[in-house]
């Protein structure tokens, strides 16, 4: 038997004691788990008190009301996320604030329970979470036995490099065995797929080269005053043939000169990635708008598209190494999943920021801010 610690943060004493009562003798036991789980419940009536308990007692699961007397539930959520704590958060909210709950879900909450809830609703939510905790534990265990290398860059990289090789090797074997018969045309699909995988590998290698520029940085960096608009023009020109193919209009807005202290090549990498994504993940006949402007001590680069968009739950993943969103819409688009990771790392070295907002099937908007004359670190 394992015991999971649950913390309830809610200002209504009735809810707190209700939850404690419902879960007191509750137990989750699945045939595929090697052990059953039961629960201990702690209570806090404010976000502030809750955070203290989070620090001292490290709960596994947090049931969080959003409307609290002091700091709000979402702020507690933010605190947990910032500190990258391994706590599964469930928002308890009334239907009136369902929208907020949905937003909270994209901010890192795992689930939400509408208020008022029945004991059964609470139990089934806790049951789901327990399953999740269990599987996480299991996968963590697997990773530990693998000396935790899976999430290290190199091992993911080796996976990314091997996958296309395996696929090409598989096709070549099929061809060698004449598996599709004597007709040469029957092998067209295989050849196309091999070329596609090779293209993917080439992209990956190019992106890796960009990445080494970021991480080795400093020595080769050449920081001087440059005009971002020139760089945007170059990037757009490079991308032109690609956009014509997809019938996408590329527009550049703003002043003719926007100066910033930065490395030319690094700025090119940022533009290339943002603009190529805006084309790649666009629809046929769509538009890409790039706007460069000055805003006090910062320059702002906006890249907007009219493409497939990104689901809210995927938004904060896309800047991680090797992350690509898999869906029917992205199925035939090649990429390494490194582009935005590189962009983010670069921008961090300038102490700038990058934000994304997006609506599925409508479009995405990437906003970069860079300090004009203080490139740091």
Cβ neighbors of 174 (< 8 A, separation 6 or more) are 180, 190
Phi/psi zone of residue 145: left (φ > 0), alpha (ψ -120 to 50 degrees), beta?
A: alpha
- Tell me, residue by residue from 111 to 140, as one string, x for binding to ligand ADP by CB under 6 A and - for no binding: ------------------------------
| CB neighbours of residue 48 within 10 Å | 15
- Tell me, residue by residue from 270 to 289, as one string, x for binding to Mg ion by CB under 5 A and - for no binding: -------x------------
- SS in 3 state form for the chain? CEEEEEEEECCCHHHHHHHHHHHHCCEECCCCCCCCEEEEEEEECCHHHHHHHHHHHCCCEEEEECCCCCCCHHHHHHHHHHCCCCCEEEEEEEHHHHHHHHHHHHCCCCEEEEECCCHHHHHHHHHHHHHHHHHHHHHHHHHHHCCCCCCCHHHHHHHHHHHHHHHHHHHHHHHHCCCCCCCHHHHHHHHHHHHHHHHHHHHHHHHHHHHHHHHHHHHHCCEEEEEHHHHHHHHHHHHHHHHHHCCCEEEEEECCCCEEEEEHHHHHHHHHHHHHHHHHCCCCCCEEEEEEEEECCEEEEEEEECCCCCCHHHCCCCCCCCCCCCCHHHCCCCCCCCHHHHHHHHHHHCCCEEEEEEECCCEEEEEEEEECCCCCC
Measured in degrees and rounded to the nearest 5, phi and psi for residue 115 equal -105, 135
323 near ligand ADP, rule: CB under 6 A: yes
Binder to ligand ADP among 63, 74, 310, 370 (CB under 6 A)?
310
- Tell me, residue by residue from 223 to 262, as one string, x for binding to ligand ADP by CB under 6 A and - for no binding: ----------------------------------------
- Tell me, residue by residue from 324 to 343, as one string, x for binding to Mg ion by CB under 5 A and - for no binding: -----------x---x----
* Least Å from the CB of residue 34 to ligand ADP: 36
2 near another protein, rule: CB under 8 A: no
Nearest to 196 by CA among 337, 333, 338, 308: 333
138 near another protein, rule: CB under 8 A: yes
* Least Å from the CB of residue 16 to ligand ADP: 41
Contact region with ligand ADP (CB under 6 A), list: 34-42, 94-102, 215-223, 305-313 = 305-313
Contact region with ligand ADP (CB under 6 A), list: 65-73, 130-138, 226-234, 337-345 = 337-345
318 near ligand ADP, rule: CB under 6 A: yes
CA distance 248 to 259: 28
Measured in degrees and rounded to the nearest 5, phi and psi for residue 254 equal 105, -175
Binder to ligand ADP among 74, 77, 340, 370 (CB under 6 A)?
340
Q: Which is nearer to Mg ion, 168 or 239 (CB)?
A: 239
178 near another protein, rule: CB under 8 A: no
287 near another protein, rule: CB under 8 A: no
302 near ligand ADP, rule: CB under 6 A: no
Q: Which is nearer to ligand ADP, 73 or 337 (CB)?
A: 337
CA distance 34 to 135: 11
Do the beta carbons of residue 28 and residue 36 sit within 8 Å?
A: yes
305 near ligand ADP, rule: CB under 6 A: yes
- Tell me, residue by residue from 219 to 258, as one string, x for binding to Mg ion by CB under 5 A and - for no binding: ----------------------------------------
Q: Which is nearer to ligand ADP, 131 or 329 (CB)?
A: 329
Q: Which is nearer to another protein, 34 or 99 (CB)?
A: 34
List the single partner that 98 binds among another protein, Mg ion, ligand ADP, none, CB under 5 to 8 Å by kind. Answer: none
197 near another protein, rule: CB under 8 A: yes
Between residue 12 and residue 51, which ones bind another protein under the rule CB under 8 A?
30-34
- What residues make contact with another protein under the rule CB under 8 A? 30-34, 135, 138-139, 142-143, 145-147, 149-150, 155, 158-159, 162-163, 166-167, 170-171, 174, 179, 193, 197, 326, 331
- What residues make contact with ligand ADP under the rule CB under 6 A? 273, 277-278, 281, 305, 307-310, 318, 323-325, 330, 335-341, 364
- What residues make contact with Mg ion under the rule CB under 5 A? 277, 335, 339
């Amino acid at each position: 038997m394992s015991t999971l610690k649950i913390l309830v943060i809610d200002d209504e004493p009735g809810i707190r004691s209700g939850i404690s009562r419902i879960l007191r003798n509750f137990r989750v036991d699945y045939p595929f788990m090697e052990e059953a789980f039961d629960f201990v419940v702690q209570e806090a009536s404010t976000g502030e008190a809750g955070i203290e308990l989070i620090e001292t007692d490290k709960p596994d699961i947090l049931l969080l009301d959003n409307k609290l007397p002091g700091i709000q539930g979402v702020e507690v959520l933010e605190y947990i996320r910032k500190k990258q704590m391994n706590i599964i958060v469930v928002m308890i909210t009334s239907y009136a604030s369902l929208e907020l709950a949905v937003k909270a879900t994209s901010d890192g909450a795992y689930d939400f329970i509408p208020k008022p809830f029945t004991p059964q609703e609470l139990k089934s939510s806790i049951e789901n979470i327990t399953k999740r905790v269990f599987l996480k534990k299991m996968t963590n265990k697997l990773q530990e036995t693998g000396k935790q290398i899976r999430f290290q860059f190199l091992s993911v990289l080796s996976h990314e490099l091997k996958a296309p090789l395996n696929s090409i090797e598989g096709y070549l074997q099929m061809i060698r065995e004449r598996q599709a018969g004597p007709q040469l045309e029957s092998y067209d699909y295989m050849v196309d797929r091999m070329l596609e995988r090779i293209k993917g590998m080439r992209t990956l290698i190019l992106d890796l080269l960009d990445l080494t520029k970021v991480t080795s940085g400093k020595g080769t960096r050449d920081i001087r005053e440059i005009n971002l608009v020139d760089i945007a023009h170059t990037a757009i020109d490079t991308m032109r043939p690609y956009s014509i193919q997809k019938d996408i209009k590329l527009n550049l807005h703003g002043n003719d000169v926007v100066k910033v202290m930065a490395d030319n090549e690094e700025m090119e990498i940022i533009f290339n990635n943002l603009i190529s994504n805006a084309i790649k993940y666009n629809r046929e006949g769509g538009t890409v708008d790039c706007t460069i402007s000055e805003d006090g001590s910062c320059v702002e680069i906006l890249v907007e598209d009219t493409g497939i968009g990104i689901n809210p739950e995927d938004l904060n993943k896309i800047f991680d190494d090797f992350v690509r969103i898999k869906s029917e819409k992205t199925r035939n688009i090649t990429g390494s999943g490194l582009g935005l990771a590189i962009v983010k790392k670069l921008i961090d070295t300038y102490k700038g920021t990058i934000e994304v907002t997006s609506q599925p099937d409508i479009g995405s908007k990437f906003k970069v801010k860079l300090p004009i004359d203080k490139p740091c670190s």
